[in-house]
Amino acid sequence: MKSPFALPEGNKVLAISPWDTQKNAENYNSGGYQDVLKLLGTVIDGTPKVGITEVLHSTFHQTRTAVPSA
């Protein structure tokens, strides 16, 4: 799940991608992320900055899955 935020300056976007393991983040970085960079190459200036941090608190464990009605 990605969470994009537009910053007040109007020309910057922050996207947060939480991963459950370091290995999953590394796999994305070496595969899917490179594809995203290629797709965005014509609409962004420079290379996005990537940072790593830990989640201190999350409510994802309280998220429920929607069940389609019959």
Q: What is the pLDDT of residue 65?
A: 64
Q: What is the pLDDT of residue 51?
A: 78
Answer whether residue 29 is part of any domain.
yes
- The boundaries of the domain holding residue 34 are 3-62
Answer whether residue 70 is part of any domain.
no
Answer whether residue 26 is part of any domain.
yes
Give residue 25's identity as a one-letter amino acid code.
A
Answer whether residue 68 is part of any domain.
no
* Domain count for the chain: 1
Mean pLDDT in the chain?
78
**CA 27, chain centre distance (Å):** 13
What are 5-49's pLDDT values in tens digits?
787 777 778 788 878 888 888 888 888 888 888 888 888 888 887
Token digits of residue 60: 């994802």
Integer angstrom CA distances of residue 17 from 5, 6, 44, 70 = 12, 15, 19, 33
Answer whether residue 49 is part of any domain.
yes
Residue 70 pLDDT > 70, yes or no? no
Answer whether residue 69 is part of any domain.
no
